[in-house]
Amino acid sequence: MNDLNARMISAHEAQDRFALIKLYAEAADCANAVDASCFYLTHAYVFALEAGAPEATNLHARLKAEGREA
């Protein structure tokens, strides 16, 4: 996870939303708890929405499947 954190920091510094989408989704897949996974998925989803990225649809579906939509 340290390497992932370093890559996330670099992507934030570069303001690379497309890398952030992938990295936060990767972090969600690596998380060992549902709440942590959804935390990362939410960030990936927001970056995807901001970027107009097609990944937003899948990320939204994953969050809905975890009951994270009001």
Choose between 70 and 65: higher pLDDT: 65
Distance CA 32, CA 16 (A): 26
pTM given for the model: 0.92
Asked whether 38 and 24 are in contact (CB, 8 A), the reply is: no
Asked whether 8 and 24 are in contact (CB, 8 A), the reply is: yes
Q: Mean pLDDT, to the nearest integer, of 15-35? A: 96
Is the model's pLDDT at 56 over the cut of 80?
yes
Q: Which residues contact 63 (CB under 8 A, 6 or more apart)?
A: 38, 41, 42, 45, 69
